[in-house]
């Protein structure tokens, strides 16, 4: 049975007020987007003085103000929060939303942010081990009556997480990343969805690595939703597309794996990606998603995949 194709908005909160973000979420909900995804940063890279709201508080606020759209963060940094407390917070947001929470989880990378906020910035290998322990703890908190875990980096003992999430056994967990030795192995072991970040060299190669990891751990890769973080440059005419694409060249690494075109051209480009196995598109619009762009995409492209 073919999987439903889903379109989500990747919506970094850079320079946006609470009311602008709320309005955007309402618009996406009305237009039929599957979900809206924030970022887990304290400021915007390259533009540190822009307003930038914290993601968990924003998720809770958007959960209370919307009715249908699913709400996530691509991705929450494991290092910034104790994983047991994070599980408790996410469960609360799942209840506020009535079961519309999406959990995006990653190892963290922005060393300047770690240092500015007083976090240690261990090696990539250590951060990945911490992420794995965090994933173990979150799943235990969501599912066990009393959760106990003794790892190298985190320990919990008889930890209680009541109420349990609305979504059973837990809200979907998306792991974003494409490291072949460890990150994709964690996807095979823990994730409900894999989000392939923009800028990859070969999606087919990354997907084949994931398939092998699934085989190694005895998991059917078809139980994982395959998602791509995708830059989309849309215009109503070829001239508009080319003008927008010229401006999009500064959006690295997104532009290297992005697509451009009129609605008809984008439908063909997206069909090629669906044929590669992608079923969810987490879209970063090259013009930062003003209302006309969201409406053009939703009304002229999305119906082709309904």
State how far the Cα of 287 lies from the Cα of 68, in Å rounded to an integer: 25
Q: Within a domain: residue 213?
A: no
Q: Which domain holds residue 51?
A: 7-171
Q: Within a domain: residue 262?
A: no
Q: How many domains does the chain have?
A: 1
pLDDT of residue 2: 62
The residues of the chain scoring below 70 in pLDDT are 1-2
Please state, rounded to an integer, the average pLDDT across all residues of the chain: 97
pLDDT of residue 1: 41
Handedness of CA 132, 136, 141, 143 (dihedral sign): positive
Q: Within a domain: residue 184?
A: no
Q: Within a domain: residue 115?
A: yes
What does pTM read for this prediction? 0.96
Handedness of CA 152, 193, 52, 99 (dihedral sign): negative
Give the closest residue to 258 by CA, choosing from 69, 10, 83. 10
Tokens 């190298």, residue located: 152
**What CATH code is carried by the domain that includes residue 164?**
3.20.20.30
Q: Within a domain: residue 209?
A: no
pLDDT of residue 45: 87
pLDDT of residue 125: 96
Q: Within a domain: residue 243?
A: no
pLDDT of residue 50: 95
Judge contact between 191 and 175, C-beta under 8 A. Answer: yes
Q: Within a domain: residue 92?
A: yes
Q: Within a domain: residue 40?
A: yes
């Amino acid at each position: 049975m073919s999987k439903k194709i889903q379109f989500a908005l990747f919506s970094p909160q850079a320079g946006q007020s609470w009311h602008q973000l709320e309005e955007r979420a309402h618009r996406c909900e009305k237009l039929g987007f599957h979900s809206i995804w924030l970022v887990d940063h304290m400021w915007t890279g390259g533009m540190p003085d822009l307003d930038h709201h914290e993601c968990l508080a924003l998720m809770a606020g958007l959960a209370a103000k919307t009715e249908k759209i699913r709400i996530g963060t691509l991705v929450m940094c494991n290092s910034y929060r104790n994983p047991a407390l994070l599980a408790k917070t996410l469960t609360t947001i799942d209840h506020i939303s009535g079961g519309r929470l999406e959990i995006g989880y990653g190892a963290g990378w922005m060393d300047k942010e770690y240092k500015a906020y007083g976090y240690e910035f261990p090696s990539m290998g250590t951060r990945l081990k911490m992420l794995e322990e965090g994933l173990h703890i979150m799943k235990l908190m969501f599912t066990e009556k009393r959760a106990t875990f003794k790892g190298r980096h985190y320990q919990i003992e008889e930890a209680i997480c009541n109420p349990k999430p609305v979504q059973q056994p837990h809200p979907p967990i998306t792991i974003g990343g494409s490291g072949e030795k460890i990150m994709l192995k964690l996807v095979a072991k823990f994730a409900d969805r894999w989000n392939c970040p923009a800028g990859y060299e070969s999606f087919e190669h990354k997907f084949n690595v994931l398939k092998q990891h699934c085989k190694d751990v005895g998991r059917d890769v078809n139980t994982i939703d395959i998602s791509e973080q995708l830059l989309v440059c849309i215009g109503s005419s070829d001239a508009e597309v080319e003008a927008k694409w010229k401006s999009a060249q500064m959006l690295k690494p997104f532009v290297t794996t992005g697509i451009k075109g009129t609605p008809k051209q984008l439908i063909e480009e997206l069909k090629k990606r669906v044929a590669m196995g992608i079923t969810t598109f987490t879209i970063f619009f090259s013009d930062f998603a003003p209302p006309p762009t969201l409406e053009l995409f939703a009304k002229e492209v999305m119906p082709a995949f309904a």
